[in-house]
Amino acid sequence: MLGVKGLCGFFLLCLLTVTAWTLPSVSHFSVGSAHERGSTQSKKDNSVDAPVVVTVNLQQSLSTITDHFVGVNIDMAMVRGNWSSLDFSSTKVQNMARALTPTFFRLGGGSADSVTYVLDDHYYLPTSNNSNFSMTAQQWIAVNEFVKTVGWDFIMDVNELKRNTDGSWNPDNARQLLQFSADRNYSIAGFEMGNEYDIFENKFHMTLPPAQLAKDVVDFLHLLAEFPLYYSSFVVGPETASSRPEYFQGFLAAGGHKIVRAASFHHYYFKGRDGKLSNFTDTAVLDSLAGHVDDVLNQSRSVDPQLPLWLSETSSSSGGGTPGISDRFVAGFLWLDKLGVCASKGIQTLLRQDFFGGSYPLIDHALNPNPDFWLTVLYKRIVRGAVFNATGRHDVRVYAACANTDNFDAGSLVIYTLNPNSFSVTFDLPQFQSQPRLLHSLTAGDGDGLLSKFTSLNGVKLELVNDELPDLKPESAPPGVVTVAPYSYTFLVFPAARVSICLH
């Protein structure tokens, strides 16, 4: 809990930065103190430290992110449970899905290796969660009609375990799926083959060497060429789980780089069952991502400097997530930082595990939005275009990019910050000192603090209203320094910045 020292420190700060913060600071304080209940950390309260000076290098961009930068997954394991409670016909689900459009949507994961498409409407109940199972016509139709309705761009992870006796891939079952889909005019933007073959041996007691996968992708492209509807669909791969070069680089070097639209890999910070609350706000955990991405980028560039990179399956923790933590407000620190790091490093697309399912979904089992749903929607609405290098301080994170011109004037800049600390932090933005700004401050939505199932935007708890998203309006904040609440993340848009790179 905030001690007396913390209280004094905070109010002292408010007095010092009295600009016009009186009301917001009171609401920050009350929300901020509630956060403490979910915290296992006891950090020194240094809210009276010097402000963090943020400078953004606007002369050159690091990279550019498109409207398809953030996408979502649903794990093929959901088909084992007949889509579980995910009701594709629910207006509420469709409204939430549409809020993420445009987006790539991948249906894939480990279970893609075990499925048989049985499209004549037989249904075999799986005998166990580790065994082979079937996807029926009804299940396939349900997801495709949904994708069409909400306007998502589908990426299907096809069965790669169908092998001929000579070791080559057997395309018969995939051909049945494509024929069935083409007959119904289902558009499928892209495909993958299987999942995580670099750790395959452990799971299935067999290997699929990277050069074989590259060969299989060529066979798959030949299959796609049989269908006018799919001959221009793309493939991404090799979908590796680790950054070991043998598989990832090996696949690209074996010709993979010429046949995939993007090189794809997966990332989780830690195993779900090992996850502790403190891991989710630990800057050392945040720091572990950049090196991993550098490593993969390096491998990719050594084979093909131009090949785009996709982080095609990613979340906080692996193996379904960390129950009771990875679907709560606190998960947003790892998620938003991952978006910031990947944007800065030029990753073209990230696919969040999962839209639905597991312990890390954007929408929960009862089909209500989790905190990361709101964060993802806001990110897509606010951040798009050129990405800039911003300085910060090691215990906070600061990222900058052009603001999305669908929602903000051309030339607007967004600076987004994470404060994963138990103390408030003041940012000094000398380049934008006197400029108007639009504030989106995200804090825990109720007294459960970091473990809240809710998020507040500028102090107002976010909830659907009659199954529709509410307005996610920012509030105007006065010029000067910006103080952010303990355990908060914030998007600050400068609508009058007229950043030249953001004007074109």
Ligand X SMILES: *[C@@H]1O[C@H](CO)[C@@H](O)[C@H](O)[C@H]1NC(C)=O
Which residues bind to ligand X, rule: CB under 6 A? 62, 82, 116, 123, 126, 128-129, 131-132, 161-162, 185, 187, 270, 276, 278-279, 282, 285, 294-295, 298, 302, 389, 391
The residue (of 390 and 425) whose beta carbon lies closer to ligand X is 390
Q: How far is the CB of 290 from ligand X (least distance, A)?
A: 10
Sign of CA dihedral 157, 161, 164, 168: positive
What CA–CA distance (Å, rounded) separates 426 from 52? Answer: 6
Coil, helix or strand for 139?
A: helix
- Min. distance of Cβ 409 from ligand X in angstroms? 26
Nearer to ligand X, 277 or 438 (CB): 277
Tokens of 305: 């400097």
Cβ density class 85-104: b for 16+ within 10 Å, e for less: ebebeeebbbbbbebbeebb
User: Which C-beta is closer to ligand X: that of 309 or that of 438?
Assistant: 309
Nearest residue (CB) to ligand X, 222 versus 365: 365
CB of 206 to ligand X, least distance (A): 9
Q: Nearest CA to 282 among 484, 39, 453?
A: 39
CA distance 24 to 241: 43
Residue 30 or 302: the one with the smaller Cβ distance to ligand X is 302
Residue 402: how many CB atoms within 10 A of its CB? 26
Least CB distance to ligand X at residue 52 (A): 14
Residue 425, strand partner residues = 484
Cβ(31)–Cβ(462) below 8 Å: no
DSSP H helices, 304-443, are: 331-345, 371-382
As measured in angstroms, the least distance from the Cβ of 40 to ligand X is 8
What's the token pair of residue 395?
Answer: 């215990």
Closer of 159 and 426 to ligand X (Cβ): 159
Q: How far is the CB of 390 from ligand X (least distance, A)?
A: 8
**Cβ proximity to ligand X, 285 vs 484, nearer residue:** 285
What crossing angle do the helices spanning 172-183 and 210-224 adopt, rounded to 10°?
30
Task: Write down the least CB distance from residue 359 to ligand X, Å.
Answer: 11
Residue in this structure with the two tokens 């296992």, named with its chain if needed: 40
